[in-house]
Amino acid sequence: MTKMNQARVVVVGGSSGIGLGVAQAALAAGAAEVVVAGRSTERLAAAEDALAAHGPGRVRAVPLDVTDEKQIRTFFEAVGPFDHLAITAAETRYQALTAFDEGAARTVIESKLLGPVLLAKHAAARIRPGGSITLTAGVASERPLPKGALVAAVNGGLMALGRALALELAPIRVNVVSPGWIDTPVWDRLVGTAVGGKAAAFAAMAARLPVGRIGTPADVAAAFLFLMQNGFTTGTTLHVDGGHQLV
């Protein structure tokens, strides 16, 4: 296991939810600096404030649109050499296939699949020996929700991408974390308008899962940290879903 001491970690999508959890875990494990990037300047400012408790000078927040290759190139030029890249940024849209809006489809593909391709492209030359890239897929690949065909396809594509990049970018290690239902703000949008809202949906899912509960960002962040630190793990998908694939 490599040490996080003095490591520089970049978390794209680090302003909230799972990404913020990864940033917090990296700092708690001793990372020298964490750069969090995302589109919302408001959420970035809030994340920077939340992470400031880990000590001065250890956090930098940078606006970034992962669908804009020019921005990505400029971003990594400014970041310079670093050790680990965690990618959690994504826009998800659920629509019936027969009614799927092309613009919404492109948003999902460009943010969650093409974005990581471009990020890896421009990050690879700046990742130091022993470093890693960790992508984020999701249990929708194995257990899709109704109207979730495109999200399922993109998640499956990310798992394949992780395996391919592990070979192409070696010795940089490339892995994938596949979360299940995690209590993050995105679920307010996905199930908040259902009968009983998010609380009811979460209670029903928790009753199905072998672990008996919904996951937290800290659960997923621990998986990211493991993949950053374990120098003998590459090309794998680590499922953090409470046993969701089994039910």
On whether the CB atoms of residues 140 and 97 are closer than 8 A, the answer is no
Q: Does CATH place domain 8-180+216-241 in 2.60.120.260?
A: no
Q: Where in the chain is the domain with CATH 3.40.50.720?
A: 8-180+216-241
Tens of pLDDT, residue by residue, the chain (247 residues): 567 888 999 999 999 999 999 999 999 999 999 999 999 999 999 999 999 999 899 999 999 999 999 999 999 999 999 999 999 998 888 888 888 889 989 999 999 999 999 999 999 999 999 999 999 999 999 999 888 999 999 999 999 999 999 999 999 999 999 999 999 988 887 776 666 788 999 999 999 999 999 999 999 999 999 999 999 999 999 999 999 999 9
Rounded Cα distance between 211 and 203, Å, is: 12
* Residues 6+ away with beta carbon under 8 Å from 185: 16, 17
pTM, full prediction? 0.95
